[in-house]
């Protein structure tokens, strides 16, 4: 089988210099000590991250800064992306959906699927064995890479499987996916999950819980002043106004970037003005993100008399390599949008963001989240929900489903509003309306939200936890 393993080139970013101004002295000294210990511990070893896409989705989003900071701390951290054919990604999307307790495309996870999955793993392995050495540490991310655990262990590497997805209440569908994965992941030297509730019983004892994190200095999350925010959004076409202000952001390597591409937008009626409050959800076009439910909830339960507009933004559907359902889900959303009454349609835009340049895409998401009066994440299942942390970091109030990792982030009533039943569109509408009507409360929640992210969900905590797990593993050897 002709599949290509590729390496994502990531430049080192100086970890300590970056975070010193942001952290309090105690937190900073923990980070400094951890970086020193990590350098010592990992001398002569490479830490490999292996996943299945270089752009789009939470895993890629998180790997880029973690790899950059790890390298900046003087550790040889690298990132490889496996190859696969369309059938492989259909199978792994099926597993992904079932780990979230939903059926997905309804296909099997039987012998034929396992045979195909194994073939793709073998093809990737042929290339991996050339670079992974005895004593290296390999972090395999998600079901797409689970089949690499044993082959890499045979080379003498320490292999950690990290699963970013899951549900608190597993059902038969979730068990099917776990049955598929079990023989492959059980032998791993360590298992990492975002919440302990996601682990099936046979794995629970061994799980290290490491919640994801965001990078406060990435193009996605760096500070962006109001004129730039407005200018970026006017340039891509989401709001009206003057796009002439420097449409600028900072790339990871420190060089300046400019937003050149525009968005593909489905809209009826005039472009919202820069002062119209925006309700925003940013997600991949995935049914579990329930973009269609957000649209309906907004159309039916958020006061049409106000000037609020809804923006549902996702990647351009050709942009995410390991997500074959994107185009279909976007199409469903467009169909649902067409059936809305004209007045509702005029307040709702479906936006596909350019993916030609990930950092440009990130800068647009940054602007959208910062401009939002309310950020929503009404997912039906969510491993963590980086978009929630991203919005919280920007001081925005969030209305989000009380599920999975979102529950670890949002403290109901303090840093946002949690929806006990994500399918209750009236409750969703009420929560959004409340926040739109009370900007002071929204700002208070936003400020508390930013503080919570600073304390729990930024890269230093994540790197320190990795260091602890690596140390324990190597000590055990
Ligand atoms: N994202 C993006 N551009 C898009 C849509 C999503 O950069 O057009 C990012 C989003 O900002 C977040 C990530 O993709 O960083 C999605 O991560 P999350 O954990 O919310 O969900 P996942 O896609 O992993 O299910």
DSSP result, 207-233? EEE----B-TTSTTTS---HHHHHHHH
Pair 297, 394: CB distance under 8 Å: no
Residue 11 maps to a domain: yes
Residue 472 maps to a domain: yes
Residue 194 maps to a domain: yes
What was the pLDDT predicted at 252? 85
Tally of domains in the chain: 2
Q: In this prediction, what percent of the chain has a pLDDT beyond 70?
A: 99
Atom number of ligand 1 nearest to Cα 288: 25
CA-nearest residue for atom 9, ligand 1, is: 57
What is the CATH number for 100? 3.40.50.2000
- The token duo for 465 is 């936890």
Average pLDDT, integer, range 219-238: 96
Residue 106 maps to a domain: yes
What was the pLDDT predicted at 238? 98
pLDDT in tens, 459-468: 999 999 999 9
Predicted confidence band at 448 (pLDDT cuts at 50, 70, 90)? Answer: very high
Residue 57 maps to a domain: yes
- Helix spans in 104-143 (H): 111-128
What was the pLDDT predicted at 80? 98
3-state secondary structure of 470: helix
Predicted confidence band at 418 (pLDDT cuts at 50, 70, 90)? Answer: very high
Atom number of ligand 1 nearest to Cα 284: 5
**pLDDT for 244 beyond 70:** yes
What was the pLDDT predicted at 163? 97
To test the ligand 1 pocket, which listed residue (56, 144, 216, 280) has its Cβ within 8 A of the most ligand atoms? 56
Average pLDDT, integer, range 400-414: 97
Q: Is residue 117 domain-shared with residue 191, that is, in the same domain?
A: yes
Q: Is residue 207 domain-shared with residue 247, that is, in the same domain?
A: no
Q: Is residue 447 domain-shared with residue 472, that is, in the same domain?
A: no
Task: For CA atoms 215, 219, 221, 223, give the dihedral sign.
Answer: positive
Give the pairing type, strands 348-353 and 264-266. antiparallel
Q: Is residue 64 domain-shared with residue 189, that is, in the same domain?
A: yes
Q: Is residue 167 domain-shared with residue 292, that is, in the same domain?
A: no
Residue 271 maps to a domain: yes
**pLDDT for 9 beyond 90:** yes
Q: Is residue 448 domain-shared with residue 465, that is, in the same domain?
A: no
Distance 60 CA to ligand 1 centre (A): 9
Predicted confidence band at 436 (pLDDT cuts at 50, 70, 90)? Answer: very high
Q: Show the ligand 1 pocket: residues with CB < 6 angstroms.
A: 57-58, 61, 220, 282-284, 313-315, 353, 361-362, 365, 384-387, 390
What was the pLDDT predicted at 390? 98
**pLDDT for 324 beyond 80:** no
**pLDDT for 228 beyond 80:** yes
Taking the C-alpha atoms of residue 11 and residue 406, their distance in angstroms, rounded to an integer, is 31
Distance 54 CA to ligand 1 centre (A): 13
What was the pLDDT predicted at 246? 66
CA-nearest residue for atom 11, ligand 1, is: 387
Nearest to 81 by CA among 60, 54, 61: 54
Distance 58 CA to ligand 1 centre (A): 5
Average pLDDT, integer, range 282-290: 95
Distance 386 CA to ligand 1 centre (A): 7
What was the pLDDT predicted at 256? 94
- Helix spans in 291-424 (H): 291-301, 326-338, 342-345, 358-371, 386-393, 406-409
Residue 169 maps to a domain: yes
Residue 12 maps to a domain: yes
Q: How does the average pLDDT of the chain come out, rounded? A: 95
Distance 142 CA to ligand 1 centre (A): 16
Q: Is residue 161 domain-shared with residue 112, that is, in the same domain?
A: yes
Provide the domain limits for residue 100: 6-213+458-476
**pLDDT for 41 beyond 80:** yes
Atom number of ligand 1 nearest to Cα 377: 20
CA-nearest residue for atom 23, ligand 1, is: 57
**pLDDT for 250 beyond 70:** yes
What was the pLDDT predicted at 466? 98
Pair 39, 75: CB distance under 8 Å: yes
Distance 179 CA to ligand 1 centre (A): 28
pLDDT in tens, 335-351: 999 999 999 999 999 99
To test the ligand 1 pocket, which listed residue (57, 285, 314, 317) has its Cβ within 8 A of the most ligand atoms? 57
To test the ligand 1 pocket, which listed residue (386, 391, 405, 453) has its Cβ within 8 A of the most ligand atoms? 386
What was the pLDDT predicted at 105? 94
What was the pLDDT predicted at 322? 67
Average pLDDT, integer, range 243-267: 89
What was the pLDDT predicted at 57? 77
**pLDDT for 243 beyond 90:** no
Average pLDDT, integer, range 369-389: 96
Atom number of ligand 1 nearest to Cα 369: 11
Distance 326 CA to ligand 1 centre (A): 13
Q: Is residue 356 domain-shared with residue 250, that is, in the same domain?
A: yes
Distance 474 CA to ligand 1 centre (A): 33
pLDDT in tens, 127-180: 999 999 999 999 999 999 999 999 999 999 999 999 999 999 999 999 999 999
Q: Is residue 148 domain-shared with residue 174, that is, in the same domain?
A: yes
Q: Is residue 193 domain-shared with residue 274, that is, in the same domain?
A: no
**pLDDT for 3 beyond 90:** no
Q: Is residue 236 domain-shared with residue 196, that is, in the same domain?
A: no
Nearest to 180 by CA among 102, 111, 85: 111
Distance 365 CA to ligand 1 centre (A): 9
Q: Is residue 292 domain-shared with residue 316, that is, in the same domain?
A: yes
pLDDT in tens, 94-130: 999 999 999 999 999 999 999 999 999 999 998 999 9
């Amino acid at each position: 089988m002709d599949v290509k393993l590729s390496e994502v080139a990531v430049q080192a970013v100086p970890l300590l210099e970056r975070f010193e101004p942001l952290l309090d002295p105690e937190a900073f000294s923990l980070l400094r000590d951890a970086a020193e210990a990590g350098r010592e511990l990992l001398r002569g070893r490479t830490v490999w991250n292996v996943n299945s896409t270089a752009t789009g989705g939470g895993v890629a989003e998180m790997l880029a800064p973690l790899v950059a900071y790890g390298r900046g701390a003087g550790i040889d951290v690298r990132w490889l992306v496996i190859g696969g054919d369309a059938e492989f990604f259909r199978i792994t999307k099926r597993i992904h959906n079932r780990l979230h307790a939903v059926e997905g495309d309804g296909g099997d996870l039987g012998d034929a699927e396992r045979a195909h999955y194994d073939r793709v793993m073998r093809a990737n392995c042929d290339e991996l064995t050339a670079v992974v050495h005895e004593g290296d540490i390999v972090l395999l991310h998600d079901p797409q890479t689970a089949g690499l655990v044993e082959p890499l262990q045979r080379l003498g590497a320490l292999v950690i499987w990290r699963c970013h997805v899951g549900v608190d209440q597993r059902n038969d569908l979730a068990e099917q996916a776990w049955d598929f994965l079990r023989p492959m992941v059980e032998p791993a030297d360590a298992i990492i999950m975002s919440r302990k509730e996601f682990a099936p019983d046979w794995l629970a004892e061994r799980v290290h819980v490491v919640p994801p994190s965001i990078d406060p200095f990435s193009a996605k999350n760096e500070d962006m002043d109001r004129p730039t925010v407005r200018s970026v959004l006017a340039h891509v076409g989401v709001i009206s106004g003057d796009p002439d202000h420097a449409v600028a952001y900072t790339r990871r390597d420190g060089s300046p970037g400019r937003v050149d591409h525009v968005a593909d937008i489905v809209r009826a009626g005039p472009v919202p003005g820069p002062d119209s409050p925006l309700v925003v959800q940013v997600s991949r076009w995935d049914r579990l993100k329930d973009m269609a439910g957000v649209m309906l909830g907004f159309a039916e339960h958020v006061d049409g008399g106000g000037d609020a507009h809804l923006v549902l933004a996702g990647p351009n559907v050709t942009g995410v390599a390991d997500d074959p359902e994107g185009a279909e889900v976007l199409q469903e959303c467009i169909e649902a949008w067409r059936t809305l009454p004209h007045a509702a349609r005029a307040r709702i835009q479906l936006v596909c963001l350019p993916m030609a340049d990930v950092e440009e895409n990130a800068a647009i998401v940054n602007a959208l989240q910062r401009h939002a009066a309310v950020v929503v994440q009404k997912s039906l299942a969510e491993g963590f929900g980086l978009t929630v942390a991203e919005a919280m970091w920007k001081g925005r109030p969030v209305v989000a489903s009380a599920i999975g990792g979102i529950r670890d982030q949002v403290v109901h009533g303090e840093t946002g509003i949690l929806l006990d039943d994500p399918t209750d569109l009236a409750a969703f509408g009420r929560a959004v309306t409340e926040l739109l009507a009370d900007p002071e409360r929204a700002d208070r929640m936003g400020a508390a939200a930013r503080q919570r992210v600073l304390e729990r969900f930024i890269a230093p905590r994540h790197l320190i936890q990795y260091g602890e797990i690596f140390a324990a593993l190597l000590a055990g050897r």
